[in-house]
Amino acid sequence: MMSARNFALKSSGVIGLWLLDSRGWPFAELVWLNAATTALLLVFIPLLQRLLLLRRDGEAVVDGTAVGAAPVAQGARVSPSESMLRSRPMTKTLLGFTVLLSLTGCGTASIKATPLKEQNAAQVQADRKRCDEWAKSTASVRTGFATCLIAAGYEATSEVGSTSQTVRLAGASRTTEPTNVLLDVLQCDSDAQREAERNLGMITSWMRDTFGWKFNTERRQQAFIDCLKPRGYEIGRR
């Protein structure tokens, strides 16, 4: 509920700025628009879960249980919000989110790498373990892990914002130090982002800083490729 509220507050600011700055709406019309959208909430009030309307806060539970909820002590006073949290559907939902968050981590196991030097399974496992340890000393673990594998003769995504394409060393490249590859990737990513955001206006800059949204993604990706290729890299799958 709080997430929906925060999203609404943020997005309303963006839309309001866009209407005011780009579409030329007068401020009075924005006030009327705000009032109209607020009035629309009245349409959704009847759609609230019946569970929230069964009783008022502080009223006793007569039968000792709430609708679809776990049993509580006889005569206990349970608020509607507590009843909703005790309900089986809500419990399953919360457990599902917990499992999903636990499985969706920021580790390196999800980064796929293709061996380019006929490394066997044992070597691949050893390289991934070594790069995982090395990446922990870098500012960005995922980027450090990926660039370490690239330096070791693998094809992998660089784990930066400029591109989702894979990166590998060019055939004539002699770069084998993961630090050098990491610096190259980070430098080109920074230059590409600067190029893509060079002419952003006030509103788009605010949206970027507030929401982390990306703009001119194609230009940024091309700038990243143009920067990285002369340094001895190839981008994209063979």
pLDDT digits (tens, 9 = 90+) for 113-132: 999 989 999 999 999 999 99
Q: Which residue has the tokens 């995922």?
A: 142
Helix crossing, 141-151 with 178-196: angle to 10°? 120
Residue 103 has pLDDT above 50, yes or no: no
- Statement to judge: residues 137 and 214 lie in one domain: yes
Domain endpoint, select from 69, 104, 139: 104
- Residue 58's pLDDT band, with cuts at 50, 70 and 90, is low
Q: Is the pTM of this model over 0.75?
A: no
139 within some domain: yes
Residue 173 has pLDDT above 90, yes or no: no
Residue among 187, 127, 126 at smallest CA distance from 156: 127
| Segments forming the whole domain that contains residue 153 | 115-235
Mean pLDDT of 53-62: 56
**What are the start-end ranges of the H helices in 104-176?**
121-135, 141-151
pLDDT score recorded for residue 71: 52
β-strands 166-169, 154-157: how paired? antiparallel
Q: Between residues 179 and 110, which one has the greater pLDDT?
A: 179
Mean pLDDT of 213-220: 78
- Residue 67's pLDDT band, with cuts at 50, 70 and 90, is very low
Burial class (CB in 10 A: 0-12, 13-18, 19+), 219: middle
CA distance 76 to 98: 29
Residue among 147, 123, 126, 124 at smallest CA distance from 135: 147
53 within some domain: no
User: Mean pLDDT: which of 31-45, 79-93, 202-216 is highest?
Assistant: 31-45
Q: How many domains does the chain have?
A: 3
Q: Between residues 122 and 5, which one has the greater pLDDT?
A: 122
- Statement to judge: residues 96 and 30 lie in one domain: no
52 within some domain: no
**H helix or E strand, kind and range, residue 223:** helix 217-228
Q: Between residues 97 and 157, which one has the greater pLDDT?
A: 157
- Statement to judge: residues 149 and 197 lie in one domain: yes
110 within some domain: no
Mean pLDDT of 94-111: 54
Residue 134 has pLDDT above 90, yes or no: yes
Q: Which phi and psi (to 5°) does residue 233 adopt?
A: -130, 160
232 to each of 27, 31, 93, 225, 229, how far by Cα in Å? 54, 56, 49, 11, 6
Mean per-residue pLDDT over the chain, rounded: 74
Mean pLDDT of 139-154: 94
- Residue 22's pLDDT band, with cuts at 50, 70 and 90, is low
3-state secondary structure string, 168-219?
Answer: EECCCCCCCCHHHHHHHHHHHHHHHHHHHCCCCCHHHHHHHHHHCCCCCHHH
Mean pLDDT of 28-38: 72
